[in-house]
Amino acid sequence: MDLRLTPEELAFRAEVRAFFDESIPQDIRAKLTEGRHPDKADMVRWQKILHARGWSVPHWPVEWGGTGWDAVKLYIFRDEMQRTPAPEPLPFGVSMVGPVIYTFGSQEQKTRFLPRIASMDDWWCQGFSEPGAGSDLAGLKTTARRDGDHYVINGQKTWTTLAQYADWIFVLARTSPEAKKQEGISFLLVDMKTPGITVRPIQTIDGGHEVNETFFDDVRVPVENLVGVENRGWDYAKFLLGNERTGIARIGITKARLRRVRELAALEQGGGRLIDSARFRQKLAAVEVELKALEMTQLRVVAGEARRERGKPDPASSVLKIRGSELQQSVSELLLEVAGPYALPYRDEHDPEGWNEPAIGPDWAAMLAPNYFNLRKVSIYGGSNEIQRSIISKAILGL
């Protein structure tokens, strides 16, 4: 298999790279380079720039705003976006519920929701995991009882990322308690302004507020907000998670962070440069080799997408998810090593709610420890790496 880019693909990469270099607002680029998170306004502003260019949902069908690019061009586009770096469009709408709606939803749902996801007029969040149903997602307890022309939802979701901003949430709920656990689940679209929804923040180990608990108390959802067929939601969730796991590899972002490692390691600190250490260069090279191998794997997956049945997840996405998340964590460890003691965060006793910059040291070191802590979670979300290994053993190795 020849994985080299053709002249046409190389020209396309140059076009995409030029657009990102010229169009990403500098304040947003600076945040990402320094390891800070873009806020809601940043993400909306950038997605509207992409939408004006016709590139906010490039992987969607053309009739709903897609570009018609093949799998290789879509890969190049994502890789260049991450390399810039630029914020990726909010995945809960663009990469998760959007594809579920245009693949399995009704025509009315497509017309109502897809244009507003593409333009980011609606902010979506995900209602899957529960306190007792994370890796064993099919064990969820949240229920949706049919009552006339509504479903009544009761239960709790956790790790609801960015729910504090959301207009809508897509929810997995049990609609048939008597069925096998995978066969009695439905996929519902819920307006976050519906009475009975409560969102409570969870402060993460890096000091941030990214995730939440979401409670549903007799929340009434119109029947027309059911996606597809009742009790078939597990099939739609598997399709969604397959898309999510491929994106979690985030190879372009890891490339950009490795570039940052080299830049910072070349700075003079304490009378020397870390890049001059043979041991450090050995560790850096090992991560670069692993990343190149992962990139080749992703290109093989991309090359096979045209032959894959529509709506059927590729089990190879589990390989990308495992190694991609592990390499993100490895690079965060290299960045901590570059910063040394300057990476140590501290809390001001007079400012208990927020992280502060280190008392001494360069400004660029301030966010390295919080980012390191935040990236501990990537081996869990999208289905834990242990679950992904089980998928690989069954679907790929046939064990």
Residues 283 and 385 occupy one common structural domain: yes
Q: What is the pLDDT of residue 244?
A: 58
Per-residue pLDDT tens listing for the chain (399 residues): 567 889 999 999 999 999 999 999 999 999 998 888 899 999 999 999 999 999 999 999 999 999 999 988 998 999 999 989 999 999 999 999 999 999 999 999 999 999 999 999 999 999 999 998 877 888 999 999 999 999 999 999 999 999 999 999 999 999 998 888 889 999 999 999 999 999 999 988 777 888 999 999 999 999 999 999 999 999 999 888 766 555 667 888 899 899 999 999 999 887 789 999 999 999 999 999 999 999 888 888 777 765 665 545 567 778 888 999 999 999 999 999 998 888 876 555 445 455 555 456 787 888 888 888 888 888 887 678 888 888 888 877 877
Asked whether residue 109 is domain-assigned, the answer is no
Domain count, the chain: 3
Q: What is the pLDDT of residue 49?
A: 98
Which one, of 143, 161, 141, lies nearest residue 152 by Cα? 143
Q: What is the pLDDT of residue 305?
A: 66
Asked whether residue 114 is domain-assigned, the answer is no
Asked whether residue 117 is domain-assigned, the answer is no
Asked whether residue 259 is domain-assigned, the answer is yes
Q: What is the pLDDT of residue 371?
A: 86
CATH number for the domain harbouring residue 201: 2.40.110.10
Q: Please, which residues bridge with residue 182 across strands?
A: none
Residues 271 and 307 occupy one common structural domain: yes
Residues 213 and 253 occupy one common structural domain: no
Q: What is the pLDDT of residue 349?
A: 47
Distance CA 189, CA 168 (A): 7
From the candidates 80, 244, 268, 326, which is the catalytic residue?
A: 244
CATH number for the domain harbouring residue 375: 1.20.140.10
Residues 80 and 129 occupy one common structural domain: no
Q: What is the pLDDT of residue 362?
A: 81
Q: What is the pLDDT of residue 282?
A: 96
- Kindly give the interhelix angle for 233-248 and 317-339, rounded to the nearest 10 degrees: 40
Asked whether residue 145 is domain-assigned, the answer is yes
Residues 82 and 145 occupy one common structural domain: no
Last-in-domain residue among 201, 231, 261: 231
Q: What is the pLDDT of residue 276?
A: 95
Q: What angle do CA 163, 240, 108 make, to 5 degrees?
A: 80
Residues 189 and 301 occupy one common structural domain: no
Record the pTM. 0.86
Domain of residue 295: give its range: 249-395
Residues 130 and 190 occupy one common structural domain: yes
**Active-site residue flag, 88:** no
Predicted confidence (pLDDT) per residue in 364-378, tens digit: 888 888 888 888 888
Predicted confidence (pLDDT) per residue in 164-190, tens digit: 999 999 999 999 988 888 899 999 999
Asked whether residue 244 is domain-assigned, the answer is no
